[in-house]
Amino acid sequence: MTPRDRLPYSAIVDRPRLPAPDGARIIVWPIVNVEDWDIGRPMARQVLPAPTGVAVTPDIPNWAWHEYGMRVGFWRLLQALEGFGIRATLSINGRVCSSYPRIAEAARDAGWEFMGHGYIQMPIHQVDDAQAMIARTVDTIREFTGRAPAGWLGPGLTQKLDTVDLLHDAGIRYIGDWVLDDQPCRLRTRGGDMVAMPYSVELNDIPMMAVQHHSSDEFLKRVTDSFDRLYAEGDEHVRVMGIAVHPFLSGVPHRIKYFEQAFDYMRKFEGVRFMTGEEILAWYDRVAPAAAARS
């Protein structure tokens, strides 16, 4: 199926109002992405291009850039969120559970949700057997946490046309790759419904910092500006605002204060709920069950 086969068009102004959790106007969904960059492959991102402009392997400087996030940056993000009493969704490559168990343990002990993010950081299009990779990722997270993940985010948000079917077959019930709405919505798969969760490429430090090269304070401005608008619109239709960060970007010294200021700003408003993806899924299934959505 093509995306249009899976997802009927729906204008938000035509929808019935969703009963919000605890009367919230806006649901904030914080996502921290932790990834395993295999030194034997081209790096997922480059902060320092090779002198000739041609990617090389092994790429030690860009691997080390990412590694800083795992050694230092993650812990700043964890401390900030714990200080605000906010539990995040951990978008995690399955292999992080064995290559960086200290990080996976800290997130598990903090009560964070684990969302599958591939086994290692590489596009799904380059995976020889996507079904096996998905199963390995789900099994690894289940073994580490005691629970299978409910959600999935493709590395770089990559999917092929049949990926959502494979994910549903593996027990995944929501995905973040379809960034197309301010509310959850249902996709058709060969095995049943899948929920597309409002992840973000706008409130995401990869496009913002690594691609668009904005100054560090752009994160604060963009998050608060988005929040103000969605909060106002939430009086009519509750909105979900995903915020996605990576330790090697938002966890560095010159950006972490803007991350902290953004969350400090949002938490002072009434009618704001900070929820994990799994919590949002449970709420959405309760107020807009799949059978009702198809009728």
Q: What is the pLDDT along the chain (295 residues), one digit of tens a residue?
A: 999 999 999 999 999 999 999 989 999 999 999 999 999 999 999 998 888 778 889 999 999 999 999 999 999 999 999 999 999 999 999 999 999 999 999 999 999 999 999 999 999 999 999 999 999 999 999 999 999 999 999 999 999 999 999 999 999 999 999 999 999 999 999 999 999 999 999 999 999 999 999 999 999 999 999 999 999 999 999 999 999 999 999 999 999 999 999 999 999 999 999 999 999 999 999 999 886 544 3
Contact 240, 24 (CB under 8 A): no
**Rounded CA separation 215/157 (Å):** 24
**Axis-axis angle for helices 74-84, 101-109 (nearest 10):** 0
Q: How far is CA 82 from CA 106, 260, 263, in A?
A: 11, 11, 11
CA angle centred on 126, ends 125 and 129, rounded to 5°: 90
Question: Maximum CA pair distance of the chain?
Answer: 58
